[in-house]
Chains A and B, each alone.
Chain A
């Protein structure tokens, strides 16, 4: 596609991380001692092989994060860490507002509260197989997906304001789902501190046609089968058994979150200058949590989280309606809904003291261990469900948070596989139709409005999800519960 020469002379050099830059604490724990501007150490949790494959930019970006004001503990990178913008993707960092801590729009990302929700169909896959093609077609017709897609929902100003404050609770009050769903969404489906006045008219306009849409890129809705169980107690608690058919939905806060991220990144660039915060990379633009801009961003970001949770709730409703068309008695229950681009206020122990911290997770999932009060009662004995999305040919994992993760990384785990190949490289290597045919032979039906989009998302363009999850388990960030294989993929 690109014209002329491919010259990367004008871009920063990137190479793989050198192991001798770390102190190897444990087989999957690589520590960077604080040097230069770093205020705290940094740690990457990954196997030797994964660290060796990581771009040196991950190292650089993690050190930059460790130099931000008010950071506590350490800056962390999860096993799926890769070169992001400002923060590495797979980065976790907590800031104390009482120690001049900052909040960073880049530390959350453009797709605020992007996340995964898992629904149980109440059926075994073998019951669905005879209707697989029909179900794929109905899902593709009924789930607005891909670039420019819109649903029939149009919110007026009042409804938009209600949605921004009410999240999934608002969606349910509008008839999109059941109030029983709320217990199985982080924060019961609503961030209470949403502040619509901190959001521009442009952000609201961008969202207006996009409620109940999946988006594009790596977003998807999949029918999957529970293929393997690793942790029978947790699987039992989550209500999943071998052969069960489940639905995974991966998407976020759509245009609203993208616009909030864009605008606050710019505002924080000015704020950082005003507060004399030295930025090794402009993308780390941030503001003190207690500043006007910092507070406004937190209010706007909470609204974007509400938007993402409302969006996934609406998509759940659409999915349930489609299932009822084919299976009149179907009852799709929500297993859980987790976000992986967030900044949340949480209590954590730091040097023996309980502190109220602003925990940034960019491409990382909260993973509370057993007995945490924020976990639904039904799951409390085993820990919080964590969903790790893979490519359309590989599938996903269900993990569970561990007690150890609190000490290791403020109760966090990984979020996905990450790309091993650029989109341009992927389209040079594969044709969309070939990818679709190849997956069909494996029993995976792909529905997408874009053949180029399918080629860009080819399974081989992603890293090995199994290695990432394995590293998360041996690091004790989380434990494997189940492996889910794809059968239908509605590709955004």
Chain B
């Protein structure tokens, strides 16, 4: 028996200091790791867009070590980084590329461009103005609750401490397919008797596109705002169904004094699996393949929980894609990729969601299970584009669990 692969859990709050810049980086502990780079090219080799980059991480490190990093800013290479953590997870020297160096270079790349791709710019502006990238009204954020089918308490109205603060996030608050997932989560929380509440209209995007923006205005504004709201209430832990919010709370917020335990919804549900299992009475009779989201899988090391949940559903047969767990392939939505599809296409780059869906189809599964709201849209879109939408559906793990709950 072989021990499962584990990657060292990054100590929280110790990724690097928030004021680290490319000028100071090499004097930090992470910088000393960067100095040990052996130029093996694993980063570029594993990067889903590696063949489209003039300056993959390996070359960035060389430029940085020789004091010539500015050369990289003239290239748009880093705009093609989808923050999928593949390079970081496989780096034999343990260099935290996606956590530190790549966002710093990306920030400078963006700052020096005459114009930012329109779709991305709009998403960033919307997030700043409305607290969500879609530009929906912040006063309508909790509207979905009325259609939830089960009571979803809102902290401001509740006025007493709660165990779980459920951070719903944007797509899952506004878009119909996202709301499907939220309803499912609410049903599961109820079925398990979890003491939870949401922030309602007070919630704003956690800002994991901070991957894009590092310490620049937008991310700090969102961090400051959300931290202020958290301080108003008493709760034990934060649970979110969005791996990007999980990532922001897990990796970035600690630099700003955030100290709450954070779980992804599927981690919380897996904790309650013994109680949940007897309630999963309706067999689904589906062949399911699970896509590991980058932030939840590679970055947070959560590979087993979603699989255990899926296997608990009667009738579900779980099959694996060629690339799975640590070696999963990004849906292409991270690091701003969600709003760069048009730009990627203009550069002749394949859509990663389509590559992923082809792999999923090859397993013979008819359900592609996911754990990230971005993936619902990206994969459903890719299935349509490729003409597979009658053969496969995309479902959040929570949706499948709720479906198996019965009545």
Whether chains A and B associate is: no
